[in-house]
Amino acid sequence: MANPIALKLAQKQKEISVAEFFERNKHILGFGNPTRAIITSVKEGVDNSLDACEEAGILPDILVEIKDEDGGEKNEYKIIVEDNGPGIIKKQIPNVFGRLLYGSRFHAIKQSRGQQGIGISAVVLYGQLTTGKPTRVISKIDEKMPAYVYEIGINTHNNTPEIISQDITHWEKPCGTRIEINIIGDYIRGKRFVHEYLQSTSIVNPHAQITFIAPDGEKHVFERTADILPRPSTEIKPHPYGIELGTLMKMAKSTKCRKLSAFLKTEFSSMGERTTNAVCKEAGLDKNINPKMLTRDQLLTLLKAFKKVKIMAPPTNCLSPIGETLIRRSLKHETQEISPEFIVTTSRPPSVFSGNPFQVEVGIVYGGNLPKDSPVKILRFANRVPLLYQQGDCVSTAAISSIDWRRYGLEQKGGKGIPVGPAIFLVHVASTHVPFTSESKEAIADIPEIENEIKLAFRECARKMQRHLTKKAKRAKTREKFDLITKILPELAKKTSLILNKPIPPLDEVITKIMDVVWIEDSVEYTKKPLSQVIKSDGQTTLYEGSDEHVTTSRITIVNYKRKPLKFNLYALKPREGKIIKADPKPIEIKDYYLKWKIDNIKPTEKIELLFEMTSLAKEDFEENDLYIDGINPEYVIGAEKWEGE
């Protein structure tokens, strides 16, 4: 006879839906407290709008509005997010907003903000849980069609949408989506974080314009700083290095290929004829065998063979990095109130961890009105989404803390930890699979490959920052000496000549003996010029029609204060996006990111002037020359550093 206790326990066993699970564990999704609930709700709505606009090739115009629904008595707020995207077709509206784990990007291996299909439906669930009110959705897919209006809830027992009401209405927008969700939250404490999130989102999404209306009616516009959409990411096949045994077994059973060789080449990236043959040989498997017939042990052998054979890294067109120029432009625009002294950015080449492509981009804002005695501010991003919490658990923070920032001019006790100084650090990790530490996606896990790339990127930026500070100090010290000499010596010579009744002697040779340097001065100017006056670098004039062209002009002056003629090469770095329209004198070399002049036989006290002009840049993209020299001892040069090669 069966054990009566076992029977009783068995009767209690029952299945729960994913909606019920998250209903009881809302903290996992970022709704751990009322403050975070406000930010998470705004974040998920904005992320959806950005994704929709980008996939449709539309420059995003997003409205975020928070309304106080009860005068602050019960902390009930209405979160409104409206966009100008393509809209959502009628039959999909209930599923998109009323069903968890429903989305279009979960199986796609490419860079995207969200993949699980939890985000916005989790906000709907939280709103329903805390206020008992449904979510209102308006969607319009074409200007010739009406807008559909839904009131939606979630049936948590079976994770299905509940349609409270549906209707059509007139909406002036040609297309777009608007959601209105009532939630319980704490805007008073979360106010700073909401603004910080939207500002950070604007920095890494320079193509978007975001308008924020606070509960008190105050309006703030985070302006668009780029009119170009991000490069679309392309879906790729899984890479052999990142596959697991269970996944490999599932793929082998479901494939339509009848031969192992075809299965490997069709279902995986970076698997060509040579690599496929090498893997089959290493695994001891016939390449003509049907993959459906492979046993668990054979597939395990195949998996081990993947690790032993050198396989080319996966393609990186699945990534959509922001780019150095746009990061710099956004940082300049969003930090203009603090008047930063120096901004530097860099993008690392794409890399791979466990078969997953990723790319790291970083930036440093230095000086201005930033506090000198506080830890640097760290802005963390993953796939263009700000990470506002769990900073201490993030690999970005670990990488920054492990660098000895004292050698770069910042304070840091013991050479470890977050440095202190007037700086803002930005780090962006773009990947097909960002390894978050939890479902709330607030911190990136400690992956050695990612940490190493972040370190390399920050060290590159830190060296540029250090060179800027060194050049500034060296130039100031030498200029003080130069000004002293050029003011005092002429007066001494003039008075001595009057006393001795002799002509004023030439002072050039005396100045060169005292100075004993090559002085390089530079300036950058951003102006408008008629297009009809634009001149190409070969000296020929090209006529255009239309409005004026914005031109960035760089002027470089070289003066030889050494006692002998000199020969050396001068390099001027430029943004890759900048198009050279004029260079005088003509450089001996023009590449994507630099110009090279050969300075031939510059005589003592002789002055040489160089000039180059660029278009296709905004004012913030190029504000200071980065100059390098070779063929001369860099210790003799003020205003340029030693050229280390490409």
Chain region(s) in the chain for CATH 1.10.8.50: 240-308
Question: If you compute the radius of gyration of the chain from its CA atoms, what whole number of angstroms results?
Answer: 31
Would you say 42 and 190 are in contact if contact means Cβ atoms under 8 Å apart?
A: no
Chain region(s) in the chain for CATH 3.30.565.10: 18-222
The token duo for 600 is: 């031939």
Helix (H/G/I), strand (E/B), else coil: 157: coil
CATH annotation of 512-642:
2.60.40.290
The token duo for 355 is: 């078969």
Residues of the chain with pLDDT under 70: 1-3, 6-30, 71-72, 101-111, 113-118, 507-508, 529-548, 646
Residue 9's pLDDT is 65
Chain region(s) in the chain for CATH 2.60.40.290: 512-642
Residue 542's pLDDT is 47
The CATH class, in words, for 18-222 is: alpha beta
- Which of 624, 335, 630, 644 is CA-nearest to residue 475? 624
Q: Which residues pair with 179 in a beta bridge?
A: 81, 137
Would you say 388 and 322 are in contact if contact means Cβ atoms under 8 Å apart?
A: no
Residue 106's pLDDT is 45
In this prediction the pTM is 0.77
Chain region(s) in the chain for CATH 3.30.230.10: 343-467
pLDDT tens-place string over residues 123-170: 888 888 888 899 999 999 998 899 999 999 888 777 788 899 999 999
Neighbours of 301 (CB within 10 A): 15
Residue 537's pLDDT is 44
pLDDT, mean over the chain: 84
CATH annotation of 343-467:
3.30.230.10
DSSP state of 361: E
Residue 135's pLDDT is 92
What one-character-per-residue DSSP string does 121-187 give?
A: HHHHHHHHHHH--PEEEEEES-TTSPEEEEEEEEETTTTEEEEEEEEEE--SSSSEEEEEEEEE--H
The CATH class, in words, for 240-308 is: mainly alpha
